[in-house]
Structure 1
């Protein structure tokens, strides 16, 4: 399963480690997250080289105890991620809330999604104040930049807002380059909880699809100066 798994911890430095696992598509490496950070704070990840069968690095936050257990104040930088399902994934365990995260100066090579945020209306929590900066994404086999809050694409109806409703807001992408087989930018929010206040500045993501940008249930999205 997970290679490096850090839970309910703070003031952690991960520097210079190398992780290798088989691709899950060949049947050998399912659920092998490289670095899994769950309900942590004040974490610095740098100079890592991860190729694995699931997410190269993922941030989660428990919310099932009496008190929420957020993940916050995390810096990920100067690293190389390849092969996995995402270079850096946030969620889908978001119930505790995830905030104040910076991912910068990294290369993502032949991952499914370069960077993604994911949750659904059974997970809850708030994901906010996330900065992605100076990233290169080569040969993403799915989307390049993704935020997805939909669990069941056949059920698009508005649901009551409650403890299990996830909210994603105040996300910023700066100086991103790369290419993707599917959408370059894929944002799919919930009708009752749209993805809000996302800025993409100096982003050049190429896609093989004729419509490289998909926005559903979003508000105040700015892409290279154009507001949607």
Structure 2
């Protein structure tokens, strides 16, 4: 909040590798507080999943928080089970769109994810005036999903080499 704006120093250059995330809210959760900014987050060779785990990569912020999130890279992740999405980027988290500082979220790249069971592969929700930008999901498979993916207000979305469901292509 106010301290993030006052200090103005981003959280940056974060490496998460060879980890197993099984319980609680999100495997890799970025936000809610993004006021100072978050950049250069690298996640690789991890295992996510369990009956009490909601999200895989969860970027959550809103126009009350502001700040920015950029340059997030996820590679070679095995997902056994999540209650919600493997990739969720949601600018309507918490306070929604009730502030004056819509946060830019850009350059998020996901590759080499193999998922067994989730609600959906991804949920991506930006704002009309501040869309998510430069989102890439490639060379990944999401075997058992229970609902369609959600995408709104996203520019430069690239989904290539991705299968969703039993052999279907996104």
TM bucket by the smaller chain? 0.7 to 0.9
Within the alignment, does 1:89 sit opposite 2:21 as a pair? no
Matched residue, 2:125? 188
Q: Does 1:143 align with 2:85?
A: yes
Q: Which residue of the partner structure matches residue 159 of structure 2?
A: 223
- The equivalent of 2:46 in structure 1 is 106
Q: Where do residues 6-17 of structure 1 align in structure 2 (5 Å cutoff)?
A: none
Post-superposition offset of 1:225: 5.6
Q: How many residues align?
A: 160
Counterpart mapping for 1:111-150 below 5 A: 111-150=53-92
Aligned equivalent of 1:209 = 146
- For the aligned residue pairs, the C-alpha RMSD in angstroms reads 2.5
Runs of 4+ deviating beyond 4 Å = none
Distance in 2 (CA, whole Å) between partners of 1:152 and 1:191 is 18
Give the Cα separation in 1 of the matches to 2:134 and 2:144. 23
Compute the TM-score of the two structures, normalised by the length of structure 1: 0.64
Q: Using the TM superposition, give the Cα deviation of residue 205 of structure 1 relative to its aligned residue in structure 2, in angstroms.
A: 1.7
2:106 is paired with a residue of what secondary structure? strand
Asked if 1:166 corresponds to 2:106, the answer is: no
Q: Which has the larger radius of gyration?
A: 1
The separation in 1 between residues aligned to 2:20 and 2:45, in whole angstroms, is: 9
